[in-house]
Structure 1
Amino acid sequence: MSDDIEIIPISGDMIRLGQFLKFANFADSGAHAGAMIGDGDVLVDGEIETRRGRQLAKGMVIEVRTAAETHVAQVG
């Protein structure tokens, strides 16, 4: 793992992928999060995830690929 992975703390034990993308400021809205997920731009633990409601647990690594850059964060 890279040293530049940001840890995003969540209040509970689980969070849905769409919610996490908004919470981590990777998406501006739920619709934006859904579009990124639908386009195959979001990876969970290294695999493309297409389910917006995917449950994320602490320790999972989320990667968002955009045309300009790739953002990586870990659920904390």
Structure 2
Amino acid sequence: MIEFKLEGEYIPLIQLLKATNLVQTGGEAQIVVTEGLVKYNGEVDYRKRLKVKQGDIVEFDNKKIIIK
């Protein structure tokens, strides 16, 4: 489990995946999102510009990211 401290109101999903080092590039992040490999609060979500906010949970590659 990864705890991510949010600096501001939200972080775009793609930036979150990069910031937590689960992907290397923004392009790779876009691919994993469009292929349905990312879950947002328990549901597969295909929105690349999804605004992830405090209290949300993102899952990818058998890792859970909790937004604080």
Fold shared per TM-score above 0.5: yes
> What secondary structure sits across from 1:72 in the alignment?
strand
Deviation at 1:19, TM superposition (A): 0.7
Aligned equivalents of 1:12, 1:29: Cα separation in 2? 22
Task: State the partner residue of 1:53.
Answer: 49
**Percent identical across equivalent pairs?**
24
Larger Rg: 1
Runs of 4 or more, structure 1, over 4 Å off, are none
- What TM-score does the superposition give when structure 2 sets the normalisation length? 0.93
> What secondary structure sits across from 1:62 in the alignment?
strand
Task: State the partner residue of 1:72.
Answer: 64
Which residue type is aligned with residue 19 of structure 1? Q
| Candidates 14, 24, 28, aligned match of 2:24 | 28
Cα-Cα RMSD: 0.9
Structure 2: gaps of 5 or more residues: none
- What TM-score does the superposition give when structure 1 sets the normalisation length? 0.84
> What secondary structure sits across from 2:63 in the alignment?
strand
Which residue type is aligned with residue 62 of structure 1? V
Matched length: 68
